């Protein structure tokens, strides 16, 4: 199921015009990938969400696939088709949050992802609000995107009492 989701995003990226503009999104793709890998580094012994793949080996291989396929493809698609008018930007932003929430809800329903240490589906939606906002502003306002990300990371580390010394 998770592998199918990754393949669907990769196919959508390859079939769209987004792939032709990969250089324009490269910095943001790297940023998103690094932020996901940072989660795995900071929370390696305290995963607040964990994948239970059907075809892949374990959480680590699944998250690496998500880091290098799903998130880059989604980032490029999100940015490539980002609208120009304020209202359309807002609706588009909410649409992507809804899309990722539905995907995660399906994964939760079929046991492909579980939550621990107080993380819930609601926290995932809060996370998606932040993630898609930061992706949208990253290319034009890198410093703000980095500051917002660092602040959000610190808040989540404190909220979920992630032990960094272990």
Dump pLDDT digits (tens) for 16-25: 988 888 889 9
Q: Which domain holds residue 112?
A: 2-10+20-159
Indicate the pLDDT class of residue 98, thresholds 50, 70 and 90.
Answer: very high
Position 90 scores a pLDDT of 96
SS3 82: coil
CA distances from 76 to 5, 25, 124, 145 (A): 16, 6, 21, 17
Does a structural domain hold residue 43?
Answer: yes
Compute φ and ψ for 50, nearest 5 degrees. Answer: -140, 135
pTM exceeds 0.75: yes
Helices (H), the chain: 2-15, 22-42, 59-65, 71-80, 86-109, 121-138, 142-159
Does 166 fall in a domain?
no
Question: What pLDDT score was predicted for residue 66?
Answer: 93
Q: Is 126 helix (H, G, I), strand (E, B) or coil?
A: helix
pLDDT of amino acid 120:
97
Provide the pLDDT confidence category of residue 164 given band limits of 50, 70 and 90.
confident
Domain count, the chain: 1
Answer whether 100's CB lies under 8 Å from 91's CB: no
Rounded-to-10 torsion of CA 144, 68, 95, 156: -50
Predicted confidence at residue 54, as pLDDT, reads 80
> What percent of the chain is predicted at pLDDT more than 90?
79
Q: Is residue 27 part of a domain?
A: yes
pLDDT in tens, 33-59: 999 999 989 998 899 999 998 876 788
- Helix, strand, or coil (residue 115): strand
90 domain-assigned: yes
Query: Does a structural domain hold residue 127?
Result: yes
Q: What is the pLDDT of residues 105-149, one digit of tens each?
A: 999 999 999 999 999 999 999 999 999 999 999 988 999 999 999
Q: Is the pLDDT of residue 165 over 80?
A: no
> Which position has the higher pLDDT, 166 or 104?
104
pLDDT for residue 56: 67
pLDDT of residue 72: 96
């Amino acid at each position: 199921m998770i592998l199918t989701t990754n393949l669907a995003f990769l196919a959508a990226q390859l079939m769209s015009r987004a792939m032709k503009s990969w250089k324009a999104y490269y910095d943001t793709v790297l940023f998103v990938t690094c932020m996901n890998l940072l989660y795995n580094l900071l929370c390696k012994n305290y995963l607040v969400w964990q994948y239970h793949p059907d075809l892949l080996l374990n959480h680590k291989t699944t998250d690496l696939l998500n880091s290098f396929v799903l998130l880059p493809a989604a980032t490029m698609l999100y940015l490539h088709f980002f609208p120009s008018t304020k209202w359309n930007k807002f609706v588009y932003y909410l649409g992507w949050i809804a899309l990722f929430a539905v995907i995660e809800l399906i994964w939760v329903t079929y046991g492909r992802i579980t939550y621990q240490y107080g993380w819930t589906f609601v926290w995932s939606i809060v996370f998606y609000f932040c993630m898609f906002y930061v992706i949208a502003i990253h290319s034009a306002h890198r410093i703000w995107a980095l500051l917002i990300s660092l602040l959000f990371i610190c808040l989540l580390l404190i909220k979920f009492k992630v032990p960094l010394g272990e």
